[in-house]
Amino acid sequence: MPLLNQIDARTIDVRKPEHKVIIDSEIRQAIDDDRLMHEKHLHTWDSYEKYLEEKEIPANMSTDAEALLTKDPSQILKDEDDNYYLHINKTREINGRTVAEFTQGNKTVNVDPDRPQFTKIAGITKKVLEDIESEKDIYVTVREACVQGMVDLGLHWSEVDFDPRTDETDMGDIIFEEVSARDVLVDCKSRKPFFADRRRDCRMIKMELAEAQRYLSRFGIKPDEIATDNEYDEYHQLIKDNDITTDQFVTLYMFQYKKKYSLNYEHTDAGISMSNYSVDDEGKIKRQSSGESINIEKDKEYYFRAIYNSTLGTVFHKVNELGQFTRTPYYNKHSKTGFMPIADTYFLKRLNKLYDIINSVFLAYVRKMMKNPIAVDEATWSQYQEVIDQALATGESFPLKKDGKLEQANFIKDIPPAFMNLMQMTYKALQDAGFSHDPIEGRYPDKREFSGTAIDLLQVQALKPQGYKERHITYAVTQETRLIYKIMSLYFTTARWIKVQDTNSDKKNFIPVNTTYTYDQYLEYLQTNKINMELFEDENDVNYVIAPPRNTYEPFTQESAVNNNLLLVINPLGDDADMKVSIKYDFDSKRNKELTLQRTQVARKEGLIPDDEYLKALGFENVHEMIRKVEEKNEIIQVGKTIVEGGPELVQAVMMFVKKFQMVQELKNQNKPAPFGAKRQGNEVLAA
C-alpha cells in the first residue's frame, strides 16, 4: 500500500502523538505485507543451503541412511537393500568457482570529471575511494559473501552508511556490511530487476537486550521501556545451533522508503551573479539559480529512514540525505514470473541430482557385472536357491562344492556406450551452467600439427565469462561506490580530507576539497603554499559566494571582498561537482593477461618486439638496468672468447698487459698527495 498519503512525510515528528500513530500503523502494515511475500521463499532458500551443505535427504532413502546422513554428511549413503547413493556436489564446486572468478577480477575505480576544473578533485576522490575499499578490505569481508549469496540463493545485500559515532577522532566512519537475503524485506509489489521499482525495503536486526538499550537511548528511549521478543527467530523458521540460548533479544526493523513530491521553484534574476552558490542563515552552502522570475513545478523524490519496534513503534524518522537506498541487491537471474531472482543452485541442483543418479546406477551396474556367479547342478540349485540368490544380490561368497571342487565362472560385460554418453552429457551441462569454463576440456590439437604457442593461444581464448553475472556484479559494486562518494561529499570535513590525503593543510600538496574559506583564509592558503591564484583557479573548482547575499551589484575589489564577508567554496562535491563515479570490473583480466603474454612471446620469436617491451610484458621492473647488466656480461664473454680464439700467444700477451696495468695503478695510488694535516713516512700516510 502507498505509504503516508495522509501526511507529508517531510514534516513527520515521531514525538507528536498525532504523527506517531499514523506512521506506526503504516510501517507495521508495510512490514506485514512484505513478510507474507518474503516467507514464501524461506523454505526454498533453506533447501538450497541444506543441499549445498550435504544435509538434504535423497529420495527413497531408508531411515537408517537418514540417520547416517544426519550424523555424518560425508558418509556414502546406502539403503537397506545394499544399494549405494552417490552425491558428488558439483553444484557447490561450480558456485565456488564463480566466487573465485569474482575475486580474481581486476577492479578499477573511475571518477570522470565533466570540466577541467574537476580534474584534481577527481584524482583525489578516486584515490580516497580506492583507499577506503583497500583499508576495509571490502572485497574479502563483504563482496565475496555477497557474490556467494547471489549464486547460492539468487540474492544477497550489501549496506553502505555513515555512522558519526564510530570514529574516535570525531569524524565518523563509513559502515560497509553484507546482509543475508533472509534479513531484508522488499516491497512486495516490486517487479523489475534489482528491485529498481521498489518503494521501500526493511532490514530485520536481532540485537541483544543490553545492546538495544544502549543503542535506543540515543533516541530518548529508557531501558525499562524496551521489551524482549522472539520475532526474528520465529520469522526465519530456521533454528541454528548457536541460537539455542537463554539470552534475551530485541528485534529492530530498519525501515527506509521513498516518496515523490511536487515542488514550486522560483527562478529569479539577482543581477550579475559571481557564483551559483549561496550560504543560508545556518552557514550551509546551497545552489542558487539565475534568470527571469518564473514559477516552475518539478517532481522531486525524497528518501526517508525510520527505526521501528513492535513494542515501541517508530522511534526514529528523518529524511535520508544520501538521496538513495543504502542497501544494494546482488541480484542473480531475473524471473519474469516470480518475485525473487533465480539462483544458480536452482538450475544446478536438478542437473546435479541427475548426475548423482547416473553415478549411483553406474556403481550398481559395475558391482553387479563384477560378481562371480558359481556354476551349480540342478540338485544344488533346488536345495540352496535362496542362499545363492542372496549371494548374487550382495556379492558375498559362501562355500559350495560340486564333485568336491569349487567351480565359478566370470561374466563381465561391457558398459553400454549410451550410458557413458549420458554421463558425459550431464557433466557437460553442469559445466555450461557455471560462470566460466574451458569448453574443450583440454583436448587441444597435437603439437606435431600446431605450434605450442598456437595451442596456448587457443587454450587462453577458450576461457570466457558466461552470461549476465559480470554486468550484475558490476552494477552492484558501482552503486556501492556511488554511495561512498555521496557520504564523502556530505560528511567529510576539511579535517577529514586532510587526513585522507595523508598530509597537513600547510603543505603545498594539500588540495582543499569540499572546503569553505573566507577571502583572507584563501589568500593565506595561496601565499603559504606559494601557489599562483590564476593557475589554482584554472585547475580547481573555486566558487565565490557573498554571505549574506547582496541586493545590489558592486564591482569586485579585494576591499569589498573582505568588507562583504566574501566566502569561497573550493572543490565542492555532491551532484554539483559534475563527476561520474563508476567501477570497471574486468572478470576477464586473467585471460587477457595470459593472451597478451602469449602474443608477446610470438612477437618475440619473430623479432617484432624490442627487449625492453618484452621484459615489461613479463612483469619485470627496471628493465633498462637489467638490459645494461646483460649487455656488460655479454661484452665480457665476447672479449674473453676473442682472446681464447687468438691462441696461447695472445692470452700470454694480454696477461702481461694486465700485470703492467695493475703495477702502474699501484704507483699512482702511492704518489697521491697527502691530505691536509697528514705527514708522509716511507710509503705510509700518517695522521698529524
The DSSP secondary structure of 137-190, one letter per residue, reads THIIIIIHHHHHHHHHHSEEEEEEEEETTS-TTSS-EEEEEEE-GGGEEE-TT-
Segment among 86-95, 135-144, 463-472 with least mean pLDDT: 463-472
pLDDT for res 636? 77
Q: In terms of pLDDT, which residue wins out, 626 or 70?
A: 626
Percent of the chain whose predicted confidence (pLDDT) is above 70: 66
Region at 127 (left for phi over 0; alpha for psi -120 to 50; beta for the rest): alpha
Residue 359, C-alpha cell as written in the block? 553415478
Q: Residues 105-140: pLDDT tens digits?
A: 677 777 777 767 677 777 778 888 888 888 888 888
Strand ranges (DSSP E) for 395-514?
A: 436-437, 464-465
Segment among 88-92, 146-150, 541-545, 571-575 with least mean pLDDT: 571-575
Neighbours of 96 (CB within 10 A): 16
Alpha carbons 81 and 373: distance in angstroms, whole number: 19
3-state secondary structure of 626: helix
Neighbours of 301 (CB within 10 A): 10
pLDDT for res 255? 97
pLDDT of residue 457 exceeding 50, the answer is no
Q: In terms of pLDDT, which residue wins out, 335 or 267?
A: 335
For residue 548, cis peptide bond before it (omega within 30 degrees of 0): yes
Alpha carbons 532 and 613: distance in angstroms, whole number: 40
- The predicted model gives 386-407 an average pLDDT of 60
pLDDT of residue 212 exceeding 80, the answer is yes
Cα-based angle 548, 554, 558 (whole degrees, multiple of 5) = 85
Residue 655, C-alpha cell as written in the block? 696477461
pLDDT of residue 293 exceeding 60, the answer is no
- The predicted model gives 333-341 an average pLDDT of 92
- The predicted model gives 293-298 an average pLDDT of 59
For residue 342, give the nearest of 74, 152, 605 by alpha carbon. Answer: 152
CA atoms within 13 A on the CB side of 296: 12
pLDDT for res 664? 75
72 pLDDT tier (thresholds 50, 70, 90):
low
Alpha carbons 111 and 478: distance in angstroms, whole number: 11
Residue 400, C-alpha cell as written in the block? 559350495
Residue 418, C-alpha cell as written in the block? 549410451
- The predicted model gives 542-549 an average pLDDT of 66
CA atoms within 13 A on the CB side of 390: 6
Residue 22, C-alpha cell as written in the block? 499514523
411 pLDDT tier (thresholds 50, 70, 90):
very low
Alpha carbons 19 and 315: distance in angstroms, whole number: 12
Residue 67, C-alpha cell as written in the block? 540417520
Alpha carbons 280 and 265: distance in angstroms, whole number: 17
Alpha carbons 430 and 118: distance in angstroms, whole number: 49
pLDDT for res 589? 57
pLDDT for res 277? 52
C-beta of residue 304 within 8 angstroms of C-beta of residue 325:
no
DSSP 123: H
Highest mean pLDDT out of 65-74, 127-136, 182-191: 182-191
Indicate the burial class of 606 (C-beta count within 10 angstroms; 0-12, 13-18, 19 or more). Answer: exposed
Q: In terms of pLDDT, which residue wins out, 606 or 238?
A: 606
For residue 330, give the nearest of 518, 202, 189, 468 by alpha carbon. Answer: 468
Highest mean pLDDT out of 268-282, 379-393, 406-420, 573-587: 379-393
Alpha carbons 173 and 186: distance in angstroms, whole number: 27
**Helix and strand numbers, DSSP H then E, in the chain:** 22, 21
Residue 626, C-alpha cell as written in the block? 637489467
- The predicted model gives 552-577 an average pLDDT of 59
CA atoms within 13 A on the CB side of 172: 13
Highest mean pLDDT out of 296-300, 510-514, 667-671: 510-514
What's at 524, amino acid-wise?
E
Percent of the chain whose predicted confidence (pLDDT) is above 90: 22
- Residue count (the chain): 688
Q: Residues 624-674: pLDDT tens digits?
A: 777 777 777 777 777 777 777 777 877 787 788 778 777 877 777 776 665
Q: What is the mean pLDDT of the chain?
A: 75
pLDDT for res 331? 95
- The predicted model gives 363-373 an average pLDDT of 67
pLDDT for res 241? 52
Neighbours of 509 (CB within 10 A): 9
Alpha carbons 208 and 204: distance in angstroms, whole number: 13
Q: Residues 600-619: pLDDT tens digits?
A: 777 777 777 777 777 777 77
Segment among 10-24, 119-133, 223-237, 548-562 with least mean pLDDT: 548-562
Segment among 162-166, 173-177, 660-664 with least mean pLDDT: 660-664
pLDDT of residue 12 exceeding 80, the answer is yes
C-beta of residue 514 within 8 angstroms of C-beta of residue 497:
yes
Residue 389, C-alpha cell as written in the block? 540368490
Q: Which residue has the cell 529569479?
A: 268
pLDDT for res 650? 77
pLDDT of residue 33 exceeding 70, the answer is yes
For residue 340, give the nearest of 143, 179, 153 by alpha carbon. Answer: 153
What's at 630, amino acid-wise?
V
For residue 88, give the nearest of 354, 344, 342, 346 by alpha carbon. Answer: 354
C-beta of residue 153 within 8 angstroms of C-beta of residue 181:
yes
Sheet with 184-186: list strands edge to edge.
Answer: 184-186, 200-208, 249-267, 294-309, 313-319
Residue 68, C-alpha cell as written in the block? 547416517
pLDDT of residue 13 exceeding 80, the answer is yes
pLDDT of residue 171 exceeding 90, the answer is no
How far is it between the farthest Cα atoms of the chain?
A: 129
490 pLDDT tier (thresholds 50, 70, 90):
confident
pLDDT of residue 290 exceeding 60, the answer is no
Residue 564, C-alpha cell as written in the block? 562583504
362 pLDDT tier (thresholds 50, 70, 90):
confident
DSSP 552: S
458 pLDDT tier (thresholds 50, 70, 90):
very low
Q: In terms of pLDDT, which residue wins out, 476 or 439?
A: 476
C-beta of residue 303 within 8 angstroms of C-beta of residue 325:
yes
SS (H, E, C) 50-108: HHHCCCCCCCCCCHHHHHHHHHCCCCCEECCCCCEECCCCHHHHHHHHHHHHHHHCEEE
C-beta of residue 10 within 8 angstroms of C-beta of residue 287:
no
Intra-chain end-to-end CA distance of the chain, in Å: 101
- The predicted model gives 81-100 an average pLDDT of 78
pLDDT of residue 504 exceeding 60, the answer is no
